[in-house]
Amino acid sequence: MTPEEQEELRKREERKDRLHQNYLRRKANGKQKEYEDKIKAAKKAEMDMKKNTLRAEDIQKGVFVPVSHLPKNEPTRAVLPVAVNQ
């Protein structure tokens, strides 16, 4: 590795370590939990919206068929062939 690449890697690792230490500090004093609780509802709504749009696309493409759209069939009993002894 060239000295420039080594310096870039060192800076990247230092930044990663600094951010991780900040995260651990926030987690220890409870601020991280407050933040997660505050944004939890918004993130869940966003994920649900994305899931619904993807599911709608899949239904249009015919990749996904909801159970409610399947024909209603009563369960049938399987008929097993009788084994013939020789």
Is a pLDDT exceeding 80 seen at residue 85?
A: no
Quote the domain boundaries for residue 29. 3-65
- The answer to whether residue 61 sits within a structural domain is yes
Average pLDDT, the chain: 90
Mean pLDDT across the stretch 30-58? Answer: 94
Mean pLDDT across the stretch 73-77? Answer: 80
- The answer to whether residue 80 sits within a structural domain is no
- The answer to whether residue 71 sits within a structural domain is no
- The answer to whether residue 86 sits within a structural domain is no
The residue written with tokens 């609780």 in the block is 37
**pTM to 2 decimal places:** 0.50
Separation between Cα atoms, residue 74 and residue 66, nearest integer Å: 18
Contact 33, 27 (CB under 8 A): yes
Compute CA 69 distance to the chain's CA centroid, rounded to the nearest angstrom.
Answer: 26
Compute CA 48 distance to the chain's CA centroid, rounded to the nearest angstrom.
Answer: 11
pLDDT at 69: 76
- The answer to whether residue 73 sits within a structural domain is no
- The answer to whether residue 10 sits within a structural domain is yes
**How many folded domains does the chain comprise?**
1
pLDDT at 86: 60
